[in-house]
């Protein structure tokens, strides 16, 4: 066994800084509070319910992940949020309509105390929302300074020893990386000059990283996926990851597509559509926000199927993704997939999926895992892009020269091997010849 990497202990309180106090954030906070009190189970969370196999299968060592690596305890989490509307976490949860009364009432007083700080907002980045609870400043640098001040104040008032920031805000309009994103110097000049290509999410991320706080991006916005932020994260020794939580339909895609590919079944088309009625759905109903989401959702299949290596099987498929805002559904999204495949001698077949999911119920455990793993990464001295957290994202952030790994099972293996590496345990290759020698 190798010595592993030195990891600082998870002592003291961990501030979880949430940008956006909407459906996902409020479901996450309420869930953690219920779990802490023993009133519900953290289903879907790898850090709380997952195990990890160590050594040979004959050794039968399979500890819970949370006993294997030192993670912050749920009792030590403190929640701080920003939003462009003043609703507290209880009001936000009521409005989102995800959790039932019997889950909200026991934690109501705690949720009511979580009031969002005024947000950094620019209407052109989320055209469907008109924020009323927003910061003002002379330029974007001043707004970043205000967010840094909010972070410093929270450290003092909550007595925090560490923090992590997670973007759970609305999806911003589509943005391509440009010169202002190309280096930290260009970005900082852009903050001063109010460059229009610097979106609000980038201002929060800049404030977090400059304050030494890791950042995860739950939406498909560019945010930290630009050279300027990678440079800042490297120079401040801070981990970053993103983007776009992998939940409903895309989760299903990255479970199913690797299986079809493994059996070399061909694909002629994958048609996906959704109806969704929450505020996220309303924001995504606007074409420039949807474009950001669409890019993120479309990239997945191309990387898994590798048409460059398998032109006869995957050279020519049609992939479409649609989202329809349909208010009666609220957070309970319904997704349909029609998959046209072909097998032996080219005979066609079809697969239909009808997933009646709950978006925020699927996203909340990801927020928890990301908060705890990013904090772990920082205590282990890992900095910059954390590719091992790809498991959680639709568009995983990678080094510039790499294509992202989308296959959920490869992502999980990468995550668990990273934990083994941190603890100096043998990496698991699944070769297994030694059992037969």
Ligand X SMILES: NC(=O)c1ccc[n+]([C@@H]2O[C@H](COP(=O)([O-])OP(=O)(O)OC[C@H]3O[C@@H](n4cnc5c(N)ncnc54)[C@H](O)[C@@H]3O)[C@@H](O)[C@H]2O)c1
Chain residues in the site for ligand X (CB under 6 A) = 19-24, 82-85, 96, 119-121, 126, 129, 168-171, 200, 218-219, 244-245, 247-248, 278-280, 359-360, 362-363
> Judged by CB, which is closer to ligand X: 66, or 243?
243
Least CB distance to ligand X at residue 405 (A): 18
**Alpha-carbon separation of residue 100 from 26, 275, 328 (angstroms):** 13, 21, 17
> Judged by CB, which is closer to ligand X: 167, or 314?
167
N-term to C-term CA, the chain: 22
Least CB distance to ligand X at residue 168 (A): 5
Token duo for residue 67: 């006993």
> Judged by CB, which is closer to ligand X: 119, or 214?
119
From the CB of residue 148, how many other CB atoms can be counted at a distance below 10 Å? 16
> Judged by CB, which is closer to ligand X: 134, or 422?
134
Least CB distance to ligand X at residue 46 (A): 17
Q: Are strands 266-276 and 318-325 parallel, antiparallel or unpaired?
A: parallel
> Judged by CB, which is closer to ligand X: 141, or 420?
141
Tell me the three state secondary structure of residue 199: coil
> Judged by CB, which is closer to ligand X: 210, or 267?
210
From the CB of residue 122, how many other CB atoms can be counted at a distance below 10 Å? 17
Least CB distance to ligand X at residue 239 (A): 20
Closest CA to 79 of 118, 34, 123, 110: 110
Closest CA to 48 of 15, 27, 77, 71: 71
Least CB distance to ligand X at residue 24 (A): 3
Token duo for residue 387: 């590719």
In degrees to the nearest 10, what's the CA dihedral of 100, 104, 105, 107? 160
> Judged by CB, which is closer to ligand X: 20, or 31?
20
> Judged by CB, which is closer to ligand X: 49, or 251?
251
> Judged by CB, which is closer to ligand X: 169, or 266?
169
Which residue is closest to ligand X by CB?
A: 22
Least CB distance to ligand X at residue 305 (A): 22
From the CB of residue 281, how many other CB atoms can be counted at a distance below 10 Å? 22
Place of tokens 């990891």: 7
Residue 426 carries which DSSP code? P
From the CB of residue 71, how many other CB atoms can be counted at a distance below 10 Å? 21
> Judged by CB, which is closer to ligand X: 22, or 70?
22
In degrees to the nearest 10, what's the CA dihedral of 242, 243, 248, 252? -80
Least CB distance to ligand X at residue 385 (A): 19
Least CB distance to ligand X at residue 61 (A): 34
Least CB distance to ligand X at residue 392 (A): 10
Query: Length of the chain in residues, anyone?
Result: 437
Least CB distance to ligand X at residue 377 (A): 21
Beta partners for residue 80, in sequence order: 17
Place of tokens 């909550």: 158
């Amino acid at each position: 066994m190798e010595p592993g990497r030195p990891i600082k202990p998870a002592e003291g309180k961990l501030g979880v800084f949430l940008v956006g106090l909407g459906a996902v954030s409020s479901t996450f906070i309420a869930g953690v509070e219920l779990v802490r009190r023993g009133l519900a189970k953290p289903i879907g969370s790898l850090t709380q319910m997952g195990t990890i196999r160590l050594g040979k299968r004959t050794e039968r060592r399979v500890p819970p992940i949370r006993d294997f690596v030192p993670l912050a305890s749920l009792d030590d989490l403190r929640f701080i949020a920003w939003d462009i509307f003043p609703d507290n976490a209880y009001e936000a949860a009521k409005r989102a309509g995800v959790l039932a009364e019997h889950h909200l009432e026991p934690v109501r007083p705690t949720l009511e105390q979580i009031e969002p700080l005024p947000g950094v907002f620019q209407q052109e980045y989320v055209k469907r929302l008109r924020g009323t609870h927003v910061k003002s400043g002379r330029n974007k640098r001043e707004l970043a300074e205000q967010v840094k001040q909010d972070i410093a104040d929270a450290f003092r008032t909550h007595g925090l020893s560490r923090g992590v920031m997670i973007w759970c805000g609305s999806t911003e309009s589509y943005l391509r990386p440009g010169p202002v994103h190309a280096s930290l110097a260009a970005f900082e000049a852009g903050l001063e000059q109010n460059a229009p290509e610097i979106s609000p999410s980038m201002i929060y991320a800049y404030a977090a990283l400059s304050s030494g706080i890791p950042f995860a991006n739950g939406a498909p916005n560019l945010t930290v996926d630009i050279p300027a932020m990678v440079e800042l994260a490297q120079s401040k020794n801070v981990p970053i990851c993103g983007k776009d939580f992998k939940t409903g339909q895309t989760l299903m895609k990255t479970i199913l597509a690797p299986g079809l590919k493994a059996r070399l079944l061909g694909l002629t088309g994958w048609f996906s559509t959704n109806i969704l009625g929450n505020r996220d759905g309303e924001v995504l109903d606007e074409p420039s926000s949807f474009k950001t989401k669409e890019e993120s959702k479309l990239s997945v299949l191309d990387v898994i199927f590798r048409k460059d290596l398998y032109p006869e099987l995957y050279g020519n498929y049609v992939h479409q993704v649609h989202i329809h805002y349909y208010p009666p559904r609220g957070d309970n999204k319904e997704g349909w997939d029609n998959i046209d495949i072909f097998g032996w001698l080219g005979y066609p077949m079809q697969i239909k999926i009808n997933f009646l999911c709950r978006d925020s119920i699927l996203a909340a455990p990801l927020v928890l895992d990301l908060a705890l793993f990013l904090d772990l990464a920082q205590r282990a001295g890992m900095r910059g892009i954390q590719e091992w957290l790809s498991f959680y994202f639709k568009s995983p952030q990678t080094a510039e020269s790499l294509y992202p790994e989308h296959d959920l099972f490869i992502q999980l293996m990468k995550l668990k091997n990273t934990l083994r590496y941190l603890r100096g345990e043998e990496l698991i290759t699944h070769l297994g010849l030694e059992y037969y020698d």
